Amino acid sequence: MIFETLKKQLPGVKRAELMAKHTTFEIGGPAEYFYIARAQKNVVKAIRVAKKLQLPLFIFGGGSNLLVSDEGIKGLVVRMKSNVKVFPVFSGNRIKAYSGVSLGNVVSFSTKKSLKGLEWAGGLPGTYGGAVRGNAGAFGGEMKDSLMQVQALDHHFVLRNFTHEQCGFSYRSSVFKEKNWTILSATVKLQKGHKKELQAIASSRVQYRKDKHPLEYPSAGSVFKNVPVEQITETFKQEFWDKVKQDPFPIVPAAWFIIGAGLAGKKIGNAQISKKHSNYIVNLGGAKAKDVLALIDVVKKKVKEKYGILLEVEVQYIGK
């Protein structure tokens, strides 16, 4: 009865859709009900229907930075996905885009319009909304640097507009991530730049990821947040001093602690800590969520034992 009602209200809804088909990890059991929302109005409708039917609701974007339980997810799962590149530029230097648009499309659009401020994100996977939610960053840049306004649904699914100050941005986080609120769209304010220079920077970031990251295997991206230098004890600061990077403040990449703990290449089941980039756990083929979780536990334990640092998980786990 519930599925029949969903089909009438949400054309294209599926039952028992494997989440492994919709995450970059290619891991995850079935969603009880699954729906792709290709526009903001479809997200709002899906929320209204789920509330009426009293169904648990999970909304996500590109499926990166996400690990789904082997048992799957109860209720209605909504994926925000759009083939539309971006909404038009407003006032010459502002871009507003639906959350389900890929971040890569927004970056490409901005450089074509000679707008500076997002070129550092070249090659970052996932959706625009996901990048805002997690305050994605690389090469010293962060989403918060150019964010002007966000339109999102709070825990009561009330539509609200958030100013930059209200977004509560912090290192790889925001009020939306902390409170599990749903971003529908966001507006960035950029600066005028030189098209060829911006496109060259974005392309170099894409190439860097191809060279340094294990893109040949499915993964969720970086598993752990990088470690602020201030959290490293004096005993080990000297050991890692030549590894310090600005991201955007002084940090040591989590990968170096994992390597130092002797865990590069460690496998559990068909999940493996990448030898190419040790802050990635890769799916060698048929890996289970339980294998990934077990590796995460091993890393946290070993790094804590050796360096006194408790690595913070960046990947979101969802499901039964």
Give the residue numbers marked as catalytic: 172, 222, 314
Asked if 55 and 73 touch (Cβ cutoff 8 Å), the reply is no
Backbone phi and psi for residue 313, each to the nearest 5 degrees, phi listed first: -75, 130
Please, where are the H alpha helices in the chain? 2-9, 40-53, 103-112, 128-133, 175-179, 195-212, 234-240, 254-260, 289-307
Residue for token pair 């598993």? 223
Q: How far apart are the first and last CA of the chain?
A: 23
Question: Residue 31 corresponds to which tokens in the numbers above?
Answer: 């969603």
Beta bridge partners of 163: 149
Residue for token pair 């294998």? 291
